[in-house]
Amino acid sequence: MSTEAQKPVRRITVPQLAARKGGDPIVSLTSYHAHTAAIVDKHADFILVGDSLGMVMHGMETTVGVPLDLMIMHGRAVVRGTRRALIVVDMPFGTYEESPNMAFRNAAKIMKETGCGAVKLEGGARMAETIHFLVERGIPVMAHTGLTPQSSHVMGGFKTQGRDDETWPAHEEDARAVSEAGAFAVVLEGMVEPLAAKITKQIDIPTIGIGASVECDGQILVLEDMLGLNARPPKFVKVYGDLLNQIETAVESYADDVRARKFPTDDQIYR
Ligand code: KIV
């Protein structure tokens, strides 16, 4: 007989997450490494290995240059570091837009090589056929509409969506299309509150907001932004930590100690 403590931890599944529509808010953060993912795992329902890692970790200007292999490497690390949360890995730009077949090949590669539970891709109505194709073939898809960073060159930057009422029908149609195509949830990024609220009421799958108000069914933030590691976080980010200053102070203290021959001390060396 196994005791409570011995029971294997079960990962949150895609149907469990989808069933949270209209229920308790869904908690999510990004993570790109095994060690931060292990911490986030205790508190989040799903962890996104976002292609924002290109900008956050690799100093890229946009997410457009992120290669598939990089997503797979970070995805694998996050799966290794976690036991509980559903892990979703972003499909990077250029790996899914061309055709449903191409999307399937790359999504299957991500799932096989990382062990993640789902993939995320950007785009609304124009991606509906691909989403349907993937879901029919066993790949759970989280959609991402509103501000879609991979299209920032077309959009003219990272702009809040829905400020002009005339654009609302297109955004509503995007969310409806991905929901009907079989996506199990949709990220609404950078969207005015009344539009996010309207979409959340209109569709059957959970909406996950990032800069899209509390009206969504859940929230996601980039971990480094909320930890205070980004000197210029987006306006919508609530910063819960002060990591930038803490790291700065720690590194400075270490450098001072080394220069003053205060490190390593006697009890820190092998004899
Ligand atoms: O890449 C990413 O981190 C994302 C989130 C911002 C939703 O797509």
Q: Is 189 designated active site? A: yes
Cβ 77 under 6 angstroms from ligand 1: no
Contact 47, 78 (CB under 8 A): yes
Question: How far is the centre of ligand 1, averaged over its atoms, from the C-alpha of 149 (Å)?
Answer: 8
Which DSSP symbol is given to 113? H
Left if phi > 0, otherwise alpha if psi is -120 to 50, otherwise beta: which for 8?
beta
CATH 3.30.70.270 fits 10-242, yes or no: no
Q: Please write the tens of the pLDDT for every residue from 118-174.
A: 999 999 999 999 999 999 999 999 999 999 999 988 988 889 999 999 999 999 999
Question: How far is the centre of ligand 1, averaged over its atoms, from the C-alpha of 158 (Å)?
Answer: 13
User: Which ranges of the chain does DSSP label H, i.e. alpha helix?
Assistant: 14-18, 34-40, 53-56, 68-81, 100-114, 128-136, 152-155, 168-181, 193-202, 223-226, 243-259
Cβ 90 under 6 angstroms from ligand 1: yes
Cβ 50 under 6 angstroms from ligand 1: yes
CA distance 210 to 195: 13
Q: Please write the tens of the pLDDT for every residue from 228-267.
A: 999 999 999 999 999 999 999 999 999 999 999 999 999 9
